[in-house]
Amino acid sequence: MSRITKTLLTLGFACTALPAFAAEGHGLSSSADKLFSVGPLPVTNSMVTSWVVAAVLIIVIRLAIRKPKLVPTHSQAIVENLVQGIFDLTAPIVGSKVAKQTFPLLIALFTFILIQNWSGLIPGVGTIFMADHATGGWHEFVRPANADLNGTFALAIVAMACWFYFILRYAGAAFVLRDIFGNKADKHETPGFIYYPLFLIFFGVGLIEVVSIIFRPISLSFRLFGNVFGGENLLHSMSAITPWVLPVPFYFLELLIGLVQALVFTLLVSVYIGLICNHSDGHEEAH
């Protein structure tokens, strides 16, 4: 009998055992669990959740917009307000030079992260378990995508890869190197005998900045993972104390945290792009 069949057979028993299981204060495990494999690629519960939520998001938006109209419908107006709001928020940060070019990345990050954060509040996500016949334990059958460090790290890697492309494409390698390692002092206002020795100092500062850039994916991924993972375990703990009553205020708190974390991730990526491209834009206008 295949692993998927065994999973489906034990799922009904897992649901009936869930109240007693939750009463023990069981929360999310620290890592996602493998459901099955496609060749050498393991497919985890968080991956399946992210795929399902992303597919639902695409379908809902397509149904909401359908054929855009000059006088928008209510659903089209909601989508247009979301798009315009994110553009107005990020455009001054990244700079007018790359505002339109970077917008698809930023709106995709914000929408995807927001819906994935809120997916943990859907009944059944993180609260349906399956039996592991190999170990005799239990695993989450459905797990929030952003409660998996692999998922948030993948988002951070994609964001930083796009950041690298944008700064090279629209600022140029020469400007990027000058911005990181070059002298921050104004060459035209600083005496030469002071300007040139300062180069060694600012080159050292540039090396520190390179280290901070390397650690950006780590900070982005751990911040998002920590907030979502902690929130899910908080809801589990509150449900174990008083189901259906005590967790209610924390659901509203998680709605707020999910929105804030999506904004923080998107705005930080915008700031990283704007630190180079917006500065480059102003530098060119000055000349």
Question: What is the token pair recorded at 241?
Answer: 């104390």
pLDDT digits (tens, 9 = 90+) for 145-176: 888 899 999 999 999 999 999 999 999 998 99
Amino acid 14: pLDDT: 38
Lowest mean pLDDT among 22-31, 67-76, 80-89, 110-119: 22-31
* More confidently predicted of 123 and 176: 176
Burial code (b: 16+ CB inside 10 Å, e: under 16) for 231-259 equals: bbbbbbbbbbeeeeeebeebeeebeebbe
Is the Cβ–Cβ distance between 128 and 17 less than 8 Å?
A: no
Stated pTM of the model: 0.80
Where exactly are the structural domains of the chain?
A: 3-282
Percentage of the chain with pLDDT > 90? 33
Shortest CA distance to 139 belongs to which of 6, 1, 2?
A: 6
Is the Cβ–Cβ distance between 119 and 55 less than 8 Å?
A: no
Amino acid 26: pLDDT: 54
Question: What is the token pair recorded at 155?
Answer: 């988002």
pLDDT digits (tens, 9 = 90+) for 11-27: 343 333 343 344 344 56
User: Over the chain, what is the mean pLDDT?
Assistant: 80
Amino acid 195: pLDDT: 66
Q: How far apart are CA 205 and CA 211, in angstroms?
A: 10
> How many Cα atoms sit within 13 Å of 82 on the Cβ side?
20
- CA dihedral defined by 229, 233, 236, 241, rounded to 10 degrees? -160
Residue 193's pLDDT band, with cuts at 50, 70 and 90, is low
Residue 192's pLDDT band, with cuts at 50, 70 and 90, is low
Query: Length of the chain, please?
Result: 287
Kindly give, in sequence order, each residue whose CB lies less than 8 Å from that of residue 116, ignoring residues fewer than 6 positions away.
49, 50, 53, 144, 145, 146, 151
